[in-house]
Structures are given as structure tokens and as C-alpha cells.
Amino acid sequence: MQIADCRPEGVDLSLAAAVLLQGMTAHYLVYSTYPIKAGDTCLIHAAAGGVGLLLTQIASRAGARVIATAGTPEKADLARAAGASEVILYRDEAFAPRVRELTGGRGVDVVYDSVGKDTWEGSIDCLRPRGMMVSFGNASGAVPPVSPLILSTKGSLFLTRPTLWAYIATPEELAWRAGDLFGWMASGALSVRVDRSLPMAEAAAAHIALQSRATAGKVLLIP
């Protein structure tokens, strides 16, 4: 099975290339790592990033109430347009107390955290008892070694550090995730935001933009 077999005629090839890696990541997070149920509440960090915008749309589609974090008002608007119910500007206020306030003190069912070191402690503090911490990225650096006792003292929490390759281990699973993404795109149910397209010769500039968090959505390199 090739990925091209899953792409409907109505899906632009460049958008298909843009969505695949990050889109399948969002898909497994919502449908497999912590299967979202209608009525669940999740916290999504970096919600205006490449994964974040897709994850917010897919989690909302699955019935979740999405609380998002973003760095600027402009990025907050993008997260809301993707389906976030509330957006916390993490540079203006501490996100953990605000999440507790928004959930009436209960906490969220799951945190999807691609940031890593800088958000680890706050993310743990956002979870309800027996909630799940999904740490799937290290944008700010790797999370330091963790004692299992912290999971006990914070409410019998669950912790996982997933990676895409374990969730597309069979052709059937790969076809399911890619097929869902392309089907949603063809129907207009999933929007892929391309922040900028650059020639391959400007790959260094693309990396600088990503590292400085100057982008919102995908960056494409064109051969």
C-alpha cells in the first residue's frame, strides 16, 4: 500500500504532503493514545503550530472541549478558528491556574504537550485525578527524569511518551490514519494552514522561522 492510494482527487498534492506527518500524529493522539470521547476536556499546547492546529480540529471533531495555549493574540485567533473553546496566552498568565479555573477546579482529562521542559510541571498540575499526560514533543527541551511518585501524589496520573512510528506499525493502521485525513480534507472538514512556502535553497530560513516560533501552521520547502 502506498500513501498515494489514500489521496482523493480533490486533495492538492502539496497539501497532502504538508498534512501527512503532523496530521497522522494528531490522529493517533486523539484516536489511540487517549481516545477522546464526547464531553472530554483536553489541554493542547502550541495550538497554532503545525500539529496544534490539526490536533485542535481533530479533537474538537471528536467531541472534546479544547482549552489551548498560544503565544500571541493572532495565534490565539487561529486556535479559536480551529475549534478551541478557550485560549490562554501563556506569556500573559500562568496557564495551570487558569485551566483549573476554566474547569471548575476539576482539571482536564488529558494534556497534549509538544513543548516539553517549559510546560511539564504546569501540565501535570492541570490534570484531573487519573488523567493522562501525553508528552509528545521537546520544543523547549527534553523533560528531566521523572519520579513515578509524582504521578501518585498528583492524583494517580498516567504518563506516556508516544511516537508516530509505533502507531503506523501496520499497513492497515497507516491506511486508516492517512485515509481519514485525506477524506476530511476532501470534504472540507479539515483545514491545513500553510504559513509559508520556501524554495529548498532557503531551508535554513525555514528552520530559523520554526525555531523562533514565528510560524503558525505548516512551512513547505519546494524542490
Contacts of 38 (CB under 8 A, 6+ apart): 62, 63, 64
Sign of CA dihedral 102, 106, 110, 116: positive
Q: What is the pTM of this model?
A: 0.89
- 10 Å CB burial of residue 24 (0-12, 13-18, 19+) is buried
Q: What is the mean pLDDT of the segment spanning 124-150?
A: 96
Name the one residue in this structure whose C-alpha cell is 527524569. 145
Cα–Cα–Cα angle for 108, 80, 139, rounded to 5 degrees: 65
pLDDT for residue 7: 58
- 40-90 tens-digit pLDDT: 999 999 999 999 999 999 999 999 999 999 999 999 999 999 999 999 999
Domain extent listing, the chain? 3-167, 193-223
3-167 is a CATH 3.40.50.720 domain: yes
Judge whether residue 220 has pLDDT over 80: no
pLDDT (average), residues 97-118:
98
pLDDT at 14: 79
Partnered with residue 160 across adjacent β-strands are 134
pLDDT one-digit tens code per residue, 162-180: 999 999 999 999 999 999 9
Q: What is the pLDDT of residues 1-50, one digit of tens each?
A: 455 456 566 777 778 888 899 999 999 999 999 999 999 999 999 999 99
pLDDT band at 182; cut points 50, 70, 90: very high
For range 137-154, the mean pLDDT: 95
pLDDT tens for residues 199-212? 777 678 768 766 76
